[in-house]
Structures are given as C-alpha cells and as structure tokens.
Amino acid sequence: MSDRFSEFTSGLTGPASQIFAIVPDDGADLAQATRAINVAQGGAVTLTTIDGTTGTIHVAAGMAFPVRARRIHATGTDATGITGLA
C-alpha cells in the first residue's frame, strides 16, 4: 500500500492512524494515550487525562470526542463499545 503522507509528521490536528478497543478499568492506565474516543452507545465516560485530571464527560454515539485520556474508569462509565483513536 502506498501512503503519500508517510514522510509528514502527524500532529494532533491530523487524523488518527490507530484504533484500539478500550475496556474500562479503575486500576490500570491504557497502553497508550488517546487522541480521541468513540463509543457505540452514548453515555457517561469517567476518565483521567494525560495531565492527571479525572472527571466524567458525556459522549454521543458515533462521534469522535477529542480527549487525551490515559485511563478510562469502569466506575461512572455507562457508555459502551469504547474505542480509542491515536
């Protein structure tokens, strides 16, 4: 496969180049920080950002919500089908 953009540095405003499933966990950080998250069924997502702030946000289904998260907590999260974009 040819990628005409492979020589360019990917910034935070560019599209994600990786996706990964997220299983909410109160005790473990993600393997990598997200650039955004997406959910199959909307709802509350409790997360910790890369700077250590913890809070709950509401994420609509099917939309990429830009957030640099290092942990997605099980407690307080009722959105399902969470996918990380990096």
Query: What are the Cα distances from residue 54, in Å, to 11, 19, 20?
Result: 24, 23, 21
What pLDDT was estimated at residue 13? 75
What pLDDT was estimated at residue 14? 78
Q: Is 42 left (phi over 0), alpha (psi -120 to 50) or beta?
A: beta
pTM (predicted TM-score) = 0.89
pLDDT tens sequence across 38-66: 999 999 999 999 999 999 999 999 999 99
